[in-house]
Amino acid sequence: MRRPCNNLPGAQRTAAFRPLPAHSCAPTACNKCLCPHTSLASLHTAASCQTGTPIRIAASTAMNDRLKCKIGPSILNADLSQLYKESQRLLDNGADYLHLDVMDGHFVPNLTFGAPVVKCLRSKIRHAFFETHMMVQNPEQWIEPMADAGVDQYTFHIEPVKEIIKTCRKVREAGMKVGLALKPGTEIDAVRQFIDQADMILIMTVEPGFGGQKFMTDMMPKVQWLRHNYPLLDVEVDGGVGLNTIAACADAGANMIVSGTAIINAPDQRAVIASLRETVESSIHKCSV
């Protein structure tokens, strides 16, 4: 007798994957549904499947489409007089990218640095992926300078922007990936219609503006909603993320992890980065096996 196919959370069957009627399948060959574990190479057959039409998914495509864990330390609370040295140390210790917090004193009540500083850092660090988190009132103003500075991904807050689609297009035309960021008070509904324009959605887990704040667990439903509806979308969390809060982020479905003080102040940065990665990868693995 066949057993029910219960090895997938409901969240993994939606959005990009067309929902299928409930079905049962052999416990060792559940590669019939349109869900992440179709990364299994084989093609299921009508003979062994009760769901109907067989679906062919190329193993190589499915494998490439897998969600990846990326750890991006924020250098906000590092010794900024040693920006290059601190950044290189983070990369040497296993960081996947650098998350550069840009503040203009208007959108948030703090100032950090702008394109000239990023450009200097890029001249010393040629190959790392740079994401700028633009906590600025007018993100359109800084697209060109940041592209010229060598930024790879331009993540801006949607709250002050009137023409979000146009701004996304300009970021892309400038050669950068698009990230859309939401403050804690911004509901997910505000970004829904723009998700297709973005490479990544950033859910803030503190009020933007300062490092070292307490993680807001009540932001996790936003992350869950995104992962549920967009199984392969890059979803980033930023603010108060460290060893004590990473499990909540990973369980909710975040795969891009910004961590500031938890990494910067750690005596062993490499161990902290590895531990954050392990938690996220194990959640991704659970969802895709």
Edge-first strand listing for the sheet containing 70-73:
70-73, 256-259, 234-238, 200-204, 177-182, 153-157, 129-135, 97-103
For residue 211, the minimal CB distance to Zn ion (Å) is: 9
Which lies closer to Zn ion via its Cβ, residue 73 or residue 253? 73
Among 13, 133, 183, 222, binds Zn ion (CB under 5 A): 133
Catalytically active residues are: 101, 238
For residue 76, the minimal CB distance to Zn ion (Å) is: 7
Pick the piece of the chain touching Zn ion (CB under 5 A) from 25-33, 130-138, 140-148, 263-271.
Answer: 130-138
For residue 213, the minimal CB distance to Zn ion (Å) is: 11
Which lies closer to Zn ion via its Cβ, residue 96 or residue 101? 101
One-letter amino acid at 198 equals A
Which lies closer to Zn ion via its Cβ, residue 150 or residue 239? 239
Helices (H) and strands (E) counted in the chain, each on its own, are 10, 10
Q: Hey, which residues does 177 pair with through a beta bridge?
A: 153
Which lies closer to Zn ion via its Cβ, residue 33 or residue 254? 254
Pairing of strands 3-4, 24-25: antiparallel
Tell me the number of residues near Zn ion by CB under 5 A. Answer: 3
Task: Report the length, in residues, of the chain.
Answer: 289
Among 13, 77, 95, 101, binds Zn ion (CB under 5 A): 101
Which lies closer to Zn ion via its Cβ, residue 133 or residue 170? 133
What is the CA angle 113-118-123, rounded to 5?
150
**End-to-end alpha-carbon separation of the chain, Å?**
22
Six-digit token pair at 57?
Answer: 């998914």
| CA torsion angle 114 206 185 143 (round to 10) | 20
Which lies closer to Zn ion via its Cβ, residue 17 or residue 210? 210
Pick the piece of the chain touching Zn ion (CB under 5 A) from 41-49, 102-110, 112-120, 127-135.
Answer: 127-135
Separation between Cα atoms, residue 140 and residue 37, nearest integer Å: 40
Write the interaction track for Zn ion spanning residues 228-247; mark x where CB under 5 A is met and - where it is not. Answer: ----------x---------
Contact criterion met (CB below 8 Å) for 78 and 86: yes
Helix (H/G/I), strand (E/B), else coil: 139: helix
Is 157 a residue that touches Zn ion (CB under 5 A)? no
For residue 135, the minimal CB distance to Zn ion (Å) is: 7
Separation between Cα atoms, residue 161 and residue 184, nearest integer Å: 16
For residue 270, the minimal CB distance to Zn ion (Å) is: 22
For residue 257, the minimal CB distance to Zn ion (Å) is: 11
One-letter amino acid at 133 equals H
The closest residue (CB) to Zn ion is 133
Helix (H/G/I), strand (E/B), else coil: 156: strand
Using CB under 5 A, list all residues that contact Zn ion. Answer: 101, 133, 238
